Structure 1
Amino acid sequence: MVVGAPIIVTLGDSITQNGANPDIMGYQVMLTQDYVRKADVVNRGCSGWTTRDWVPKLPLLGREWSHKPPSLITIFLGANDAALVPEPQHVPLETYAGNLKILLQTLGATFPDCRFLLLTPPPIDDTRIKSRSNAEAGKYAAACVAVGAERKVPVVDFWTAMQNMPHLLSDGLHFNRAGNIAAHALILSAIRQHYPALAPEALPSEF
C-alpha cells in the first residue's frame, strides 16, 4: 500500500526544466507551492530533449517510481520536435504523434492508476527565433490535441491560448515570468476541471 504525499511529475524539455527556476517564477515552482505538504512535485524537464529522446528513457522512469507510482504526470513536449528542417532536434510530425502515444501507453501500463495531462507546445514569436515557426508549432499542437482526444487524455492547448502574446516569451520560444504565470494558471485550471480529486484544495496535508 502506497502511503504519504502523492507524486506529481512534470515531464518535458527546457521549458519544463526552466519551470524549476524561481527567478522567472517557473510554473513548476508555483505548482510546488500549491501542493506544499500535500504532494511532491518532481521536475523531469531536460533541455534540448524531444519525444524521440524520452521514449527510450521510459524504463528508467518505471524503475525510478516502482516503489511509489506518480498520481499525475504532465507531458509537455513538442517545442523541440517542431524545430524546422534541418535542425537536428526536428522530429517529423507523424513520429511526434506516435511518440506521444507510446509515452501515454507505456507510462499508463507501468502506472495504471496514474492520470495524465498533455501540454501542447506554445506559440513561437517568428521575429525572434529562426529555427522555429509559429505555423509549424501549430501543427504539432494540433497533433497533441488529436492524440489527447484519441486517448481520452485532457490537453492544455498553450498554442491556442497564448496566440498573439509575444510578451509571454523571453526569446521567442521559452516562457518568461509572465509566460510561466500564465502556464501555471492554465495547468492548475485543467487539473481542477479534469482531476478534481488531485486539486490542491482537495488533498489533505500529509505533514
Structure 2
Amino acid sequence: MVTPRSLRTRARILDAALDLFERQGYAATTVNQIADAAGVTPMTFFRHFPTKDAVLVTDPYDPLIAEAVGAQPVHLPPLERTRLGLLAALGDITPTEDATARRRVALVAASPALRAAVVIGTEATQEAIVQRLVADGVTRLDASIAASACLAATTAALLAWATEPDDVTLAHLVRHALAQLAPAGAAR
C-alpha cells in the first residue's frame, strides 16, 4: 500500500535527483549523492526506484492509463479505445506534475542512453494497456498494435517537448500526436 509518507519520500528523492542531474549531469551523479541530498539511505532510494535511470523514466500512471482505456466503449476499435483512453488519462496531469515531467524529459532527451531506458519503461505501460484490452476480448495482437501505435505517438510528443517553448504543455503535444491517429473524418 502506498502511504502519504511514502509518496512524500518518493517526491523528495525525485526532486533531489533532478536538482543534482541538472547541476552536475546524469552520469556524474551517484545514487548515494541523491539519497544524501534527499535525506534518505541508499536502501530507501532503491525501495522507491530500482535504478538511477528509473527516477527519470518511470511513473505511477500505468494502472490509471489501463483503467482509462478500459473505460472506453468496448464497441470501438482497439486503436480508438487506446487513443481515447490516453487522452482521458491526460486530464489528470496537474501543473506540478507537468513541471516535474518537463525537467525529466529535458534530461532524458539530452541522453541517448536514457532514451533507450524510455523504451523499456514504455513496455510496462504497453503491457498494462494490452492486458486491459485482452480482458475485454481483443486479440493480443490487435491490443499490442493499438498500444504500440498510441505509445509511439505519445513518446514522440514527449521527446519533442524538451525543445518546445515553456508555455507548451505536455498535454497539448500528446493531444496533437494522438490526433494523428484519429479515424478518418474525426476532428483533429
- TM-score normalised over the length of structure 1: 0.28
- TM-score normalised over the length of structure 2: 0.30
Computing the radius of gyration over CA atoms, which structure comes out larger, 1 or 2? 2
Larger proportion of strand: 1
